[in-house]
Chain A
């Protein structure tokens, strides 16, 4: 187990390094620069700024300097937001996105898993058909459509929910609904199909034949086996959702990491792009390791190697 985790961490470091390197060179290859778009700035001032942030040096030297810093946890200063380090920005914006994202993943799990189970247990009945229709429609609607429809009905027509910011629990309702919509539908489908799979297994019949109580069969035998695909899906989903969705943050005016990332890309804030990318990559890889370990706990038959 320990050896496995060590191996995974080593592999993760290599992957993060590769992602960082690729991003660094790709970003610098693209025309444009952080100081080109600003108005009323003389060539001398641009040169001075570039010298200050080391952008006048050859690319490989910039790369080495950046990597040396990053390996010590120093991600540099933001090029656009003067006087702020990349770390400051991430630690300020990430919690905002993480709260909204975390709540929505929780909502998706709490709705998706039970509804998927119910659909599988009542296979072919009215409830199953209803849940299937809802979940099939759910995965067919793009997130910006959901956002705008929510905004239109609850924010503009009924005026019962605030449309921007994040100051009270009421502000969370619409963004969370928008973010949780697709995952809920998807988890319902996953849960239903894997539950149907498990219900047809021999050990289910054995458990029933042994005279186990219905609840015990459901939770100990069926659910535990059927939840594995959901875990695989939720791991990366959590990583993506807590780092913020650009669309949702833009429409509901939430000051989160997703919006920050897009404006960093558009403004060529090199250090902020690098910092956020490395942060996101680390989170995704971390979640994948966590998923594997949770797998092992839920299903002891799985061997980690």
Chain B
């Protein structure tokens, strides 16, 4: 057959169809395992000393606040007779007498408060509450914020306009006003709910704590929503979204499987940085006297209770204040480390 000199057809010869030799096969073998997104990020995170140290600190604080109280010899509610306002490591007269008699008495490592409660266990319980509030509130914020933000961005147009105006309005109302009003508004219904069968846990958790969660759920997701929206606005122009749509994938599934999965880096970082700010807000609310209900302590309420006796018992203030700063600092540093590890924009 005569060959056309300007043809683009491949000029194939019969020997091109022979099976590949061993040597040629070797070049196709993958030398190294491919690194997945998670492995890559985790490797980078492990190299970051500051982030690893803060991770260890967070784990230590968690052990300190969730595990240690279960076998600690004192209880956070228990008022020890005659042991009011003890300094750290000091014993009350009665306890001293028992020690002299040969009995072993566990020391009050951080002293006691003015009602004679062991301060160390109160600090542990306080950081437990603060951590719980931080984690649960952040979970709520993550769910609401990411759904709201991605829906607004995905549908765009007037849906986006209306949804973002609502965000603006929530942003503009002073949050302290809403917090106070909501906590008053929720008091009666929650007290009723406590009486209802099957809802006894409301009383254990405390109405105030639940209303704090409700407040977070209603107010603080706006930052997360804005963050996710800006990401999704960018991602929804990608080819794989067009492809998914062409294949007839439903909107809900595109948002869930393609868009939110692809902003996972941003979500992790924003969530980790949201935890300290939730703890911050809870401590502020407790400071105002709108936080957890007595006798349950939180780090904020411990600090605010200690302010009045600041001149004589400064350590009662310093211990919770330092601990709360340490927790927030560790989460912030871990968040920074996660950002360096997982944010695709910072890869090089």
Write the residues of chain A forming the contact surface with B, with a CB cutoff of 8 angstroms: 15, 18-19, 22-23, 26-27, 29-32, 136-137, 139-145, 148-149, 151-152, 156, 246-247, 251, 261-262, 265-266, 273, 276-277, 280-281, 284-285
Whether A23 lies near B177 (C-beta < 8 A) is yes
| B328 contact set on A, CB distance < 8 A | 140-142
| A136 contact set on B, CB distance < 8 A | 329, 332-333, 336
- Picked from B280, B284, B321, B326, the residue with its CB within 8 Å of the CB of A148 is B321
B149 within 8 A of A: no
Whether B177 lies near A148 (C-beta < 8 A) is no
Whether B287 lies near A139 (C-beta < 8 A) is no
Whether B283 lies near A142 (C-beta < 8 A) is yes
Min C-beta distance of B175 to chain A, whole Å: 10
B276 within 8 A of A: yes
Whether A149 lies near B185 (C-beta < 8 A) is no
Considering only CB atoms and an 8 Å cut-off, how many residues of chain B contact the other chain? 39
C-alpha spacing A262/B289, complex, angstroms: 12
| B288 contact set on A, CB distance < 8 A | 246-247, 262
Measured CB to CB, the nearest residue on chain B to A251 is B307
Q: Chain B contact residues: over half helix, strand or loop, or mixed? A: helix
Whether B176 lies near A22 (C-beta < 8 A) is no
Task: Say whether, besides A156-B311, A246-B288, A145 and B184 are in contact (CB < 8 Å).
Answer: no
Whether A145 lies near B321 (C-beta < 8 A) is yes
Whether A262 lies near B184 (C-beta < 8 A) is no
B18 within 8 A of A: no
Whether B329 lies near A152 (C-beta < 8 A) is no
Interface-facing stretch out of B152-160, B164-172, B249-257? B164-172
B310 within 8 A of A: yes
B180 within 8 A of A: yes
| A251 contact set on B, CB distance < 8 A | 307
Measured CB to CB, the nearest residue on chain A to B281 is A142
Whether A265 lies near B325 (C-beta < 8 A) is no
| B63 contact set on A, CB distance < 8 A | none
Whether A19 lies near B172 (C-beta < 8 A) is yes
Whether B303 lies near A30 (C-beta < 8 A) is no
Task: Say whether, besides A156-B311, A261-B176, A277-B177, A148 and B184 are in contact (CB < 8 Å).
Answer: no
Whether B174 lies near A280 (C-beta < 8 A) is yes
Whether B172 lies near A26 (C-beta < 8 A) is no
- Sampled A-B contacts (9; CB under 8 Å): A26-B181, A27-B181, A29-B185, A32-B184, A142-B283, A261-B176, A265-B176, A265-B180, A265-B181
| A144 contact set on B, CB distance < 8 A | 283-284, 287, 300, 303-304
C-alpha spacing A251/B310, complex, angstroms: 12
| A247 contact set on B, CB distance < 8 A | 284, 287-288
B113-157 Cβ-contact flags toward A at 8 Å (1 or 0): 000000000000000000000000000000000000000000000
- Picked from B171, B176, B324, B326, the residue with its CB within 8 Å of the CB of A246 is B176
Among B187-227, those with CB < 8 Å from A are: 187-188
Whether B172 lies near A15 (C-beta < 8 A) is yes
Whether B177 lies near A31 (C-beta < 8 A) is no
Given contacts A136-B333, A145-B303, 4 further A-B pairs with CB under 8 A are A22-B173, A23-B173, A29-B185, A285-B172
